[in-house]
Amino acid sequence: MQQTFSNPTEQLKIVIVGHVDHGKSTFVGRLFNDTGSLPEGKLEQLKLIAERRGVPFEWANLMDALQSERDQNITIDTTQIWFQTKKRQYVIIDAPGHKEFLKNMVTGAANAEAALLLIDANEGVQEQSRRHGYLLNLLGIKQIAVLVNKMDLPNYSQARFDEIEKEYRAFLQSVGVIPKLFIPISAYHGDNIATLSEKMLWYKGPTVLQTLDEEFRVSQPQENLPLRFPIQDVYRFDERRILAGRVEAGSIKVGDKLIFSPTNKTSTVKTIERWNAQQSDSAATGESIGVTLTEQIFVERGAMAALETSPPYELSRFKARLFWLGRNAFKKGKTYKLKLATQEVECEIDTVEKIIDSSTLETITRAGSEVFIGRNEVAELRIRTKRPVAFDAISEIVPTGRFVIVDGFDVSGGGVILDDNYPRRTSDSLHKSDNIFWSHGKVTAQQREGRNNHKGCVVWLTGLSGAGKSTIASELERELFNQGKHVYVLDGDNMRHGLNSDLGFSHKDRTENIRRVGEVAKLFADAGVVVVTAFISPYRSDRDLVRKITPEGRFVEVFVNAPVEVCEQRDPKGLYAKARAGEIKEFTGISAPYEAPEKAELEIHTDKLTVPEAVGRIVEYLKQQDEDLSYSI
């Protein structure tokens, strides 16, 4: 039957699951044939191959694309194939039924919105029939129809069908699943697939095809949930600093006041960024967008934005139900990586409440004292993370209520977060993370400054490479030292050897580099030292961050200004030449932006001043600042 359709408006993904050899791939082949969805010549080609190999023709060969699958007549890996009805486009996900390939079944099913579960009428309910039913529920698939296949074998017997329905319905009920319906079929002969079978007139329900179109729905995002916007990355391709991410729940709009986990910092949405799309001041669930903020705060991948009025939980212990697919067991006492939305954190098993055989639903008891969850087992447990994680319970918000566990290089388990009496975080930033308070000693900064007879402060030299920052820094240090002041130059390279040795030169790492330098500089200043830094620090927001964490009046931004032509001519390290030759990517001033300070305390034109003159200006400025030091010791 040749079918042409006007615009399909929706797409539904359906996974086909069930025990090995219960006819999943055969069913899909038949469904495609009976709906006229097979490509031209495909059937003939498969028949010819079967003939050449001297084996009977199998519908399953349509899906089992791998030679090893055809050789063994089994499905090893999940596969996807498309077809259309008048109503919508379908993505059919064929999943393997072998226990051995459960991770592939989970991969297929985790992508689906609905499921067809096949049971062989002859063999009846088997181990994987039950396990798959259990896992579908855990994977969040609520729309399930059960196909009792191979009805030709028990002579299309209604009694056999009723028996299987009764047994399996009871099982599903015990795990909290209510199936849409049970349909008796024969995939091999095409009974009740696209047309009603004349051999089972006792069956009064719809065909499989009608079930797809009429019983199943495309899931709609729930727009009324609280906003969850996990930050995927921070882009700075031009002058804008854009937070990239996908709206996982709720919606976001310009003017929304956001609170970010885990820092508890707040800012307001300035713009919603898209490319080649209709301009809109808001974004709905599922949209991958960019966001700029009115007030620059430190945000990186893994942060989660929410509205101040409804933030997620943020804790380092939660209750979960987990299935384990890893070759090696999930062991208590060992550290794993947990990934939840864009967060990644080290975790371990806190306590295991129970381990379940997901087929028999029996609780597994272990001999010996070692606590672990084995392959293909399910557990209810508490997980402890090294740092607090922002999350929701699966019952509240699905995308932020589930996680995976990585063992070594491999995703080895998945879990959903169960309800518990989690303390709801308040949006009051005074209650900020984890009860860490700044501890105050008995000597104050004021007392230190009084004894030193000068203030502790951060002299932050910023400017292009070759503008003269390092030269000025070292001369300034000598000059102030000679005047008897406590002074220290925080050198960029030295920092990268030690404290920042884990950082590279990516955007994110550069920002983190500056943040750490800023934090160290702040401590030096607090200790009463004049700390001089010489970093290009091209981004205004990075410098402003340091300004923000340093006490009022203790951050002296010095714009070491020389035209790029002059710097390039000086080129003391030969870097400009390399950048022009394309050997250095993202070189400030050539292929990466430099955001000049707008409110620097001092601006020094090194193309017009000599080094001693430049140093003199800074010394003079600091002296003025110290004049209001009128304490008596």
Q: Is the peptide bond before 262 cis (omega within 30 degrees of 0)?
A: yes
Q: Considering beta carbons, is residue 2 or 624 the nearer one to another protein?
A: 2
Give the shortest CB-268-to-another protein separation in angstroms. Answer: 20
Residue 55 binding another protein, by CB under 8 A: no
Burial 361-385, CB ≥16 within 10 A → b, else e: eeeeeeeeeebbbbbbbbbbbebeb
- Please select the residue that binds another protein; options are 154, 290, 518, 528, rule is CB under 8 A: 290
Q: Which of 537, 591, 630, 632 is catalytic?
A: 537
Spatial CB neighbours of 616, under 8 Å, sequence gap ≥ 6 = none
Residue 104 binding another protein, by CB under 8 A: yes
- Judged by CB under 8 A, how many residues of this single chain contact another protein? 70
Structure tokens at 517: 């330098």
DSSP state for residue 81 in the 8-state scheme = E
Among 101-109, 350-358, 459-467, 607-615, the segment contacting another protein (CB under 8 A): 101-109
Query: Taking Cα atoms as reference points, which of 27, 30, 35, 13 lies closest to residue 108?
Result: 13
Give the shortest CB-510-to-another protein separation in angstroms. Answer: 14
Burial 394-419, CB ≥16 within 10 A → b, else e: bebbbbbbbbbbbbeeebbbbbbbbe
Residue 67 binding another protein, by CB under 8 A: yes
Q: Considering beta carbons, is residue 344 or 607 the nearer one to another protein?
A: 344
Among 2-10, 160-168, 261-269, 434-442, the segment contacting another protein (CB under 8 A): 2-10
Is residue 427 part of the annotated active site? The answer reads no
Q: Are 23 and 150 in contact (CB under 8 A)?
A: yes
Give the shortest CB-27-to-another protein separation in angstroms. Answer: 17
Amino acid symbol at 66: L
How far apart (Å, rounded) are the C-alpha atoms in residues 424 and 310?
9
Q: Are 348 and 342 in contact (CB under 8 A)?
A: no
Give the shortest CB-11-to-another protein separation in angstroms. Answer: 4
How far apart (Å, rounded) are the C-alpha atoms in residues 557 and 597?
8
Give the shortest CB-65-to-another protein separation in angstroms. Answer: 3
Among 6-14, 113-121, 125-133, 188-196, the segment contacting another protein (CB under 8 A): 6-14
Taking the chain, what is the end-to-end CA distance rounded to the nearest angstrom? Answer: 98
Residue 225 binding another protein, by CB under 8 A: no
Give the shortest CB-130-to-another protein separation in angstroms. Answer: 20
Return phi, psi of residue 42, to 5°.
-65, -45
- What stretches of 280-329 adopt beta strand conformation (E)? 282-283, 288-293, 304-307, 313-324
Among 33-41, 303-311, 481-489, 530-538, the segment contacting another protein (CB under 8 A): 33-41
Residue with tokens 């994977």: 139
- Please select the residue that binds another protein; options are 56, 204, 239, 276, rule is CB under 8 A: 276
- Our CA angle for 386, 390, 396, nearest 5°, is 135
Q: Considering beta carbons, is residue 237 or 481 the nearer one to another protein?
A: 237
State whether residue 617 is helix, strand or coil.
helix
Give the shortest CB-256-to-another protein separation in angstroms. Answer: 20
Q: Considering beta carbons, is residue 300 or 519 the nearer one to another protein?
A: 300
- Please select the residue that binds another protein; options are 233, 348, 601, 603, rule is CB under 8 A: 233
Residue 42 binding another protein, by CB under 8 A: yes
Q: Are 200 and 208 in contact (CB under 8 A)?
A: no
- Please select the residue that binds another protein; options are 175, 315, 352, 406, rule is CB under 8 A: 406
How far apart (Å, rounded) are the C-alpha atoms in residues 503 and 440?
31
How far apart (Å, rounded) are the C-alpha atoms in residues 519 and 363?
51
DSSP state for residue 97 in the 8-state scheme = -
Tell me which residues in 246-275 interact with another protein (CB under 8 A).
246, 273-275
Give the shortest CB-270-to-another protein separation in angstroms. Answer: 15
- Please select the residue that binds another protein; options are 33, 57, 80, 570, rule is CB under 8 A: 80
Q: Is 150 exposed, middle or buried (0-12, 13-18, 19+ CB in 10 A)?
A: buried
Residue 279 binding another protein, by CB under 8 A: no
DSSP state for residue 160 in the 8-state scheme = H
CA–centroid distance for 262 within its chain? 15
CA dihedral 55, 56, 57, 59 (to 10 degrees): -110
Give the shortest CB-75-to-another protein separation in angstroms. Answer: 10
Q: Considering beta carbons, is residue 411 or 527 the nearer one to another protein?
A: 411
How far apart (Å, rounded) are the C-alpha atoms in residues 493 and 553?
27
Residue 277 binding another protein, by CB under 8 A: yes
- Please select the residue that binds another protein; options are 57, 171, 235, 488, rule is CB under 8 A: 235
Structure tokens at 217: 């729905």
- Please select the residue that binds another protein; options are 4, 155, 435, 610, rule is CB under 8 A: 4
Residue 50 binding another protein, by CB under 8 A: no
Q: Considering beta carbons, is residue 62 or 562 the nearer one to another protein?
A: 62
- Please select the residue that binds another protein; options are 195, 268, 281, 286, rule is CB under 8 A: 286
Residue 177 binding another protein, by CB under 8 A: no
Helix H or strand E segment including 272: strand 265-273
Q: Considering beta carbons, is residue 290 or 311 the nearer one to another protein?
A: 290
Tell me which residues in 323-382 interact with another protein (CB under 8 A).
325, 337, 339
How far apart (Å, rounded) are the C-alpha atoms in residues 567 and 589?
10
Among 154-162, 229-237, 421-429, 526-534, the segment contacting another protein (CB under 8 A): 229-237
Tell me which residues in 496-515 interact with another protein (CB under 8 A).
504, 506
**Positions in the binding site for another protein (CB under 8 A):** 2, 4-5, 8-11, 38-42, 49, 63, 65-68, 76-82, 89, 91, 103-104, 106-107, 110-111, 139, 221, 232-233, 235, 237-238, 242, 244, 246, 273-277, 284, 286-288, 290, 301, 325, 337, 339, 399, 402-404, 406, 408-412, 414, 504, 506
Catalytic residues: 537
